[in-house]
Structure 1
């Protein structure tokens, strides 16, 4: 992926940082994104210390004006974005009958609105160039539900369908728009579940591979979908989940 610039949203930690590192290791130049400039700089410095070419762009992916301005600044000051990874996301757990409306609004904005806003802003630059890759991070909850996270499931199901819509609208312009559906990975977002012995035991019994995933195991899927190896793959959700979506 030498010579290609990749923007990864929500990339100062967890899955986003792991994907950014994977693309950088494959030769891409990286732009990390998050809202917190200080934490973003820490992550940028860590990747730079590993020998990668990496930049930081702090803007809020749910703010339409900030997204347009942030993307334009990257294109103007760093270079043309060849790969976009829409990773920014959040979780909120509560019984559906008691789910707070403000939490619903935050979930929809962070998990879905951001994919639309950043995808649209970047695509407007990509389309005239006739070649690009967009990867949206979904979830096994793009296919499956679990108690107390129905709104999260709704957003990730919508990300899957928005990915298919992007492929349908933008494929003719040379854009490959696909998604990755991670299973249960050890991240800060899931730390409460990782620390829950009963849940971890249930997960091991439910997942054919019998364990949590490590974020480094997303590297192959990310590089595949971001590179020419997936030149005729479009509108696809690639589940990296230890087999959990395949078994009862």
Structure 2
């Protein structure tokens, strides 16, 4: 009775940063759940590889090769790629980056790169998706934030600011777009093994510190994050908007 509400059949999803880490896990989970996918990432070879993997699930895959900072290129490629009758049902703002630095040492160039990648692109791509969703009075937008947007961490002040901004953006867009039946939610991950965290997680002392701050005493597995993304994209979450789900092994219970 209830399981069909988790299906994404006949849905078109777009995922930024779709070829690695969290974005890749979400992309594959969506394809398995029955969605066609617009695969957005910077590296052409990776994009086409993931498109083929999406097709292996019997779904359609559409390649978009661009940096999210160039969101106008993403929009133009989508409009040139997807069929005229298709509209986006699910938009995932996953692409992100960080330059770890002390607040006293942050340079203007670092600020611009992080803010434009993590925050500015997410807003304008959400705006683009919402215009389509408004016309059909239906849609799901999911922002990948971080526990660093909720508690202070040694991830760098600018990164934390952008992830906090995504949480606030999620609330405000949910408030504005709820009347159009557009659901806007976010996911706040703690540590998962991804290209962004790979070097850090090779440091055994650092990993032990992470585990000590996590009630479940381990690093997360990407499949444990992908299920949350499917839930937020599906009808199962239809009475939920403006929320951030922390997939963190309980880390934010403490708020270190």
TM-score range, shorter chain: over 0.9
Distance 1:165 1:75 in 2: 29
Partner-residue secondary structure (3-state), 2:198 = helix
Query: Match for 2:237 among 213, 216, 230?
Result: 230
**Distance in 2, Cα, partners of 1:186 & 1:220:** 16
Instruction: Give 1:73 shift.
Output: 2.9
Choose from 6, 12, 15 the match for 2:19.
12
Which runs of no fewer than 5 residues in structure 2 stay unpaired?
1-7
CA distance in 2, matches of 1:55, 1:75: 7
Q: State the 1:31 CA deviation.
A: 1.3
Distance 1:179 1:155 in 2: 13
1:87 maps onto 2:80 in alignment: no
Per the normalisation by structure 2, the TM-score is 0.92
Indicate how the Cα distance of structure 1 residues 178 and 74 shifts in structure 2: closer, same or farther if over 3 A, else same: farther
Q: Write the deviation string for residues 34-77 of structure 1: whole angstroms up to 9, x where unpaired.
A: 12212211222233335443221223322243233134335545
TM-score where L is the length of structure 1: 0.95
Instruction: Tell which deviates more after alignment, 57-66 or 13-22.
Output: 57-66
Post-superposition, which runs of at least 4 consecutive aligned residues in structure 1 deviate over 6 A?
Answer: none
What is the alpha-carbon root mean square deviation over aligned residues?
A: 1.5
| 1:217 is the counterpart of 2:227 | no
The answer for the alignment partner of 1:197 in structure 2 is 204
Q: Secondary structure at the match of 1:184?
A: coil
Q: How many residues are aligned here?
A: 248
CA distance in 2, matches of 1:147, 1:241: 16
Matched, 1:34 2:44: no
Does 2:80 align with 1:73?
Answer: yes
- Bigger mean CA offset, 117-126 vs 44-53: 44-53
Q: Is the contact made by 1:74 and 1:80 (CA closer than 8 Å) also made in structure 2?
A: no
Q: Distance in 2 between matches of 1:224 and 1:74?
A: 27
Higher mean alpha-carbon deviation, 216-225 vs 55-64, is at: 55-64
Distance 1:95 1:122 in 2: 35
Aligned mates of 2:12, 2:36 — CA distance in 1: 5
Residue by residue, what CA displacement relative to the aligned partner does 1:119-176 show, whole Å, maximum 9, x if unpaired? 0111111101000100011001110122251110000000101111110111101100
The equivalent residue for 2:103 is 96
The separation in 2 between residues aligned to 1:70 and 1:237, in whole angstroms, is 30
Q: 1:171 to 1:214 in 2, by over 3 A?
A: same
Contact 1:183 1:213 in 2 (8 A): yes
> Secondary structure at 2:199's aligned position in 1?
helix
In structure 1, C-alpha distance between the alignment counterparts of 2:118 and 2:243, rounded to whole Å: 18
